[in-house]
């Protein structure tokens, strides 16, 4: 497959410098706070599980050995503050500002991801071994929410294909299904039946194997904060955000299109594919434009790009498909 | 509390007026101090929308409240509260026109026609316009009490359209719009009950000469705007 680099981004789309500078100031503070937090977390972990080594990584801890990727967008990332304070994480709350606080004490260790279904090597992988499956890369991706807002996020992760290869799927496996942890004791949102829990998502095998599809374990060169789906989440940058399932505990291989949470909730509004597509509106609102988080209050919305700007890389996956029908 | 001194009433009106400006003051203060979070336009849209609905419901609560609490003077606040509903509704609409759509007329017309939640919202606003316009004493006199009252029953439909607008725009969590809907339903039910009781009493009053107290009440339900 021929992979092209994304086109240059017009200067009008780049986050204004003022917010970039204030982000730096914030990160300095966040790193200091993170360091203090990490100290506490290590201590807590060594008390709770004596056998566990004291190298447990906690949110805010710096990740090392990250390599840059040519798949990264050239845009300036959204501020750390906005990425970690504004998102949809219905397991904690339907309010976009609430998960940041509610997810603070979410336990990401111990954590295991089971891989099963149509594979030659079903297995259960510990999160620390998952983080060593492949070299960690920085992937700065555009992120487009189905609600009409967008960010630019500097994820740290590795291609999902690295994990898939470990499991060695059977040729009959055509889809990959993912599942979020079910932990209503820790996730207050799961005590309401706003959605069907646990959250499930899925990809076609070729989408899952695509080099742009990653498992993210970090953000801004640090361990992924709980609010953004720690310890491990999916990121599929050409699809609406809800496809990028968080806090994954299960990956299954199957020959049937797996059920997906928002599709179960409203099948006429959220399809299995959910590729970012400015020409196919959500039944209740337009998808032609998006509000860039961090832009000025009086800045007009920007145009949404086909496949969120990743057409060159992914359009060929959908050759001959009617994207109005398979929305 | 059947009657309160005119002076106190005027003072109260000033207090209520300033309190009604509170939500706008908070929004403005937050905007100037960059406290509107990651998506300020969304916060402004939601806040102005919420206060429009709240003021519509509070306005609708005035009539039942003055009966139940026996505080007839509450009527003196109704016009102001209704106009504040219109005020926040206008801010809500302006947020959409300016900050969300950036005066893109074509896109807005498309939105109004195609998106049912926008259609409902626009309906709710459009129904408030004649009410705000005819809210003065002069217009009550010009139209005559009965006709004016009939026109102003449009507020029921405006509030209902507002709740539907909210209900149709949420993604999954319908609890808040349903809560507003429930309050509206209760406020409308109170009116239905009052109307039915009034009808029954009228019927009885026609058959037998009712006690003076009852007659007074009948007269009351008759000339007060519902």
Q: Kindly indicate the confidence band of residue A59, based on its pLDDT and cuts at 50, 70 and 90.
A: low
Q: Kindly indicate the confidence band of residue A234, based on its pLDDT and cuts at 50, 70 and 90.
A: very high
Residue ranges of chain B with per-residue pLDDT less than 70: 1, 206-226
Res B4: pLDDT? 86
**A269-306 pLDDT tens trace:** 999 999 999 999 998 888 999 999 999 888 899 999 99
Phi, psi of A253 (to 5 degrees): -105, 135
Q: How many C-beta atoms lie closer than 10 Å to residue B213's C-beta?
A: 7
Tell me which chain B residues have a C-beta less than 8 angstroms from the C-beta of A297: 31, 36, 40-41, 99
Does residue B117 belong to the interface with chain A, where contact is any CB pair within 8 Å? yes
The secondary structure of B27-65, three-state, reads HHHHHHCCCCCCCHHHHHHHHHHHHHHHHHHHHHHHHHH
Nearest CA in chain B to A146: B171
Cis peptide before A110 (omega within 30 of 0): yes
Q: How many C-beta atoms lie closer than 10 Å to residue B152's C-beta?
A: 19
Which residues are CB-contacts of A1 (< 8 A; sequence separation ≥ 6)? A316
Does the model's pTM come out above 0.90? no
Q: Where are the domains of chain B?
A: 6-188
Q: Where are the domains of chain A?
A: 61-318
Does residue A270 belong to the interface with chain B, where contact is any CB pair within 8 Å? no
Tell me which chain A residues have a C-beta less than 8 angstroms from the C-beta of B37: 85-86, 97
Structure tokens at B84: 């504040």
Which stretch of A171-175, A197-201, A222-226, B217-221 has the lowest confidence by average pLDDT?
B217-221
**Alpha-carbon dihedral A229, A230, A235, A240, rounded to 10 degrees:** 0
Contact A139, A244 (CB under 8 A): no
Which CATH number does A61-318 carry?
Answer: 3.90.420.10
Q: Which helix (H) or strand (E) holds B187?
A: helix B175-207
In this prediction, what percent of chain A has a pLDDT beyond 70?
82
Q: How many C-beta atoms lie closer than 10 Å to residue A101's C-beta?
A: 12
Would the ipTM clear 0.85, i.e. be above it?
no
Nearest CA in chain B to A87: B38
Res A55: pLDDT? 41
Tell me which chain A residues have a C-beta less than 8 angstroms from the C-beta of B172: 90, 94, 194-195, 265-266
Residue A53 has pLDDT above 80, yes or no: no
Q: Kindly indicate the confidence band of residue A31, based on its pLDDT and cuts at 50, 70 and 90.
A: very low
Compare CB distances from B38 to A85, A281, A300 and report the shortest one's residue. A85
More confident of the two residues B59 and A13: B59
The answer to whether the CB atoms of A94 and B117 lie below 8 A apart is no
Residue A30 has pLDDT above 90, yes or no: no
Residue A56 has pLDDT above 90, yes or no: no
Res B202: pLDDT? 84
Compare CB distances from B41 to A94, A281, A297 and report the shortest one's residue. A297
The answer to whether the CB atoms of A297 and B172 lie below 8 A apart is no
Residue A11 has pLDDT above 50, yes or no: no
Compare CB distances from B173 to A94, A97, A147 and report the shortest one's residue. A94
Contact A310, B44 (CB under 8 A): no
Res A48: pLDDT? 38
């Amino acid at each position: 497959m021929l992979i092209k680099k994304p086109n240059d981004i017009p200067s009008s789309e780049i986050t204004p410098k003022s917010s970039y500078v204030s982000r730096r100031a914030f990160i300095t503070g966040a790193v200091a706070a993170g360091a203090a937090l990490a100290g506490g977390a290590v201590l807590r972990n060594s008390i709770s599980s004596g056998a566990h080594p004291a190298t447990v990584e906690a949110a805010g801890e710096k990740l090392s050995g990250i390599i840059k990727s040519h798949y990264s967008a050239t845009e300036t990332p959204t501020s750390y503050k906005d990425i970690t304070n504004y998102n949809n994480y219905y397991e904690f709350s339907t309010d976009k500002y609430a998960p940041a606080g509610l997810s603070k004490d979410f336990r990401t260790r111990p954590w295991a991801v089971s891989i099963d279904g149509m594979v030659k090597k079903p297995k259960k992988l510990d999160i620390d071994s998952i983080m060593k499956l492949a070299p960690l890369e920085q992937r700065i991706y555009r992120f487009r929410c189905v609600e009409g807002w967008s960010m630019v996020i500097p994820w740290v992760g590795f291609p999902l294909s690295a994990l898939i290869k470990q499991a060695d799927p059977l040729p009959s496996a055509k889809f990959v299904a993912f599942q979020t942890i079910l932990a209503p004791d820790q996730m207050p949102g799961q005590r309401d039946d706003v959605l069907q829990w646990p959250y499930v998502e899925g990809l076609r095998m070729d989408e899952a194997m695509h080099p742009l599809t990653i498992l993210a374990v970090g953000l801004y060169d640090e361990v992924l904060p709980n609010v953004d789906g720690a310890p491990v989440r999916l990121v599929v940058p050409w699809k609406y955000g809800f496809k990028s399932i968080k806090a994954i505990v299960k990956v299954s291989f199957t020959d049937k299109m797996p059920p997906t949470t928002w599709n179960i909730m409203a099948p006429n509004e959220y399809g299995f594919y959910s590729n970012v597509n400015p020409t196919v509106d959500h039944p209740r609102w337009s998808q032609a434009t998006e509000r860039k988080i961090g832009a000025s209050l009086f800045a007009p919305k920007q145009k949404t790009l086909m496949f969120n700007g990743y057409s060159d890389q992914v359009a060929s996956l959908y050759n001959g498909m009617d994207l109005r029908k398979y929305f | 509390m059947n009657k309160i001194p005119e002076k106190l009433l005027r003072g109260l009106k000033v207090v209520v007026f300033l309190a009604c400006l509170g939500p706008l003051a908070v929004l403005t203060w937050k905007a100037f101090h960059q406290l509107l979070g990651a998506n300020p336009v969304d916060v402004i849209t939601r806040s102005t929308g919420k206060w429009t609905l709240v003021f519509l419901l509070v306005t609708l609560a005035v009539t039942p409240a003055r009966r139940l609490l026996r505080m007839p003077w509450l009527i003196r606040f109704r016009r102001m509260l209704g106009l504040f509903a219109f005020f926040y509704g206008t801010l809500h609409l302006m947020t959409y026109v300016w900050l969300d759509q950036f005066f893109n007329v074509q896109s807005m017309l498309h939105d109004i026609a195609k998106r049912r939640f926008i259609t409902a919202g626009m309906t709710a606003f459009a129904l408030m316009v004649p009410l705000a316009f005819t809210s003065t004493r002069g217009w009550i006199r010009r139209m005559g009490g009965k006709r004016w009252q009939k026109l102003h029953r449009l507020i029921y439909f405006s509030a209902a359209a507002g709740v539907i607008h909210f209900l149709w725009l949420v993604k999954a969590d319908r609890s808040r719009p349903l809560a507003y809907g429930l309050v509206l339903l209760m406020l409308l039910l109170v009116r239905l009950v009052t109307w039915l009781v009034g009808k029954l009493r009228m019927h009885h009053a026609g058959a037998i000469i009712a006690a003076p107290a009852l007659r007074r009440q009948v007269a009351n339900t008759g000339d007060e705007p519902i």
